[in-house]
Structure 1
């Protein structure tokens, strides 16, 4: 049986077109899928959509148990006079000038600013006020100006406090809008740990010396 060369060529051309169409369809599907994956990955990376691998228990919500290690303010202590508080202000964010602005805001209340500087780390909360046992009254007084701030105890022996500003911090309120009532005792956080404040015996030790100098 003799095949018409023209017919054979038409059949070969039809097969080539069919193969090309199938290849175009397959490559089109692959390219579309790759673009979709890239778009989803970009959205997850930029936090537009949540990651499917995020574990909700990795960042638990604060609870009362979380404050169990927080030190308590002195029992029934009233807010400390602002002009008797000495504070260091540290910026733990990438906001330029935050420590200086906050130090200026605290100074309007009378707080004595010892230094202001960038912090060697980051903090995501409102603020962390660090003090030794002698500075807890001052720390909790300043926290009254920083709703949501925490207090952390360290081993320093004086009453100076460190105010570490975090990413959730906004600003110090104006003195006329201050929420601090000097007649209302400081409120301890739930589950806090009582701290024994060392007695300041300096005045007692200096008194006999003063009397002796008078007698001489």
Structure 2
């Protein structure tokens, strides 16, 4: 009987040794696999289908149309502008409209932009207002131009977070007799896809 008990104890120890050895081996394999994934030697089996590409800031803004060949600057008094505040800075639309009026532009009204505006400014216009839009853009430092589906020649100027003021008149490069030059990466007007026509601002200028 002592011999039987000894055999049972030995078999139990052998089974425990096998189980423990298998557990250690499994942990070692898992650890090596984790290190391989962490270092990039092996791709993670969970990464596909869940990763999201980084957004391209430029992809959300359609390319602006170039002025058609021979398009001349528009006289300031013939440029009709709606000035919108695209920031949380109070009074910016009113301040900008005053500066434009003093320069000779016709301000139709002021209001708050329905969306915030990054950068200096966003100028929105229809195909009929492309000359007016580029004339207005020459007064600002690096505005974004956006074609929309409006049918008239009015222009919306939404000032943004980086806006300080209009350029000094001496720095505005416009020759009434020289055709307007398109913005960087502009495309033919016939290839441009217009955004929806704007909705009139109903809020007072901020």
Q: TM-score, normalised by structure 1?
A: 0.57
| Residue 92, structure 1, aligned to residue 91, structure 2 | no
Q: C-alpha distance in 2, partners of 1:67/1:79?
A: 24
| Residue 182, structure 1, aligned to residue 172, structure 2 | no
1:158-197 to 2 correspondences below 5 Å: 158-175=152-169, 178-196=172-190
| Residue 117, structure 1, aligned to residue 111, structure 2 | yes
Partner secondary structure for residue 136 of structure 2 = helix
1:168-209 superposed Cα distances (whole Å, 9 cap, x missing partner): 11101344554333233211123322225xxxxxxxxxxxxx
When you count helix as a share of all residues, which structure comes out higher?
A: 1
Q: C-alpha distance in 1, partners of 2:173/2:184?
A: 20
CA RMSD of aligned residues (A): 2.3
Match of 1:103 among 82, 91, 97: 97
Q: Count residues in correspondence.
A: 138
- The gaps in structure 1 that reach 5 residues or longer are 1-56, 197-216
After superposing the two structures, state which structure 1 stretch, 89-98 or 66-75, moved more. 66-75
Query: Are the structure 2 counterparts of residues 66 and 92 from structure 1 closer, same or farther at C-alpha, using a change threshold of 3 Å?
Result: closer
Q: C-alpha distance in 2, partners of 1:130/1:87?
A: 10
Q: TM-score, normalised by structure 2?
A: 0.60
1:19-168 to 2 correspondences below 5 Å: 58=54, 69-168=63-162
Does the CA contact (< 8 Å) of 1:130 and 1:161 recur in 2?
Answer: yes
1:14-72 superposed Cα distances (whole Å, 9 cap, x missing partner): xxxxxxxxxxxxxxxxxxxxxxxxxxxxxxxxxxxxxxxxxxx947686xx99872111
- The gaps in structure 2 that reach 5 residues or longer are 1-52, 191-206
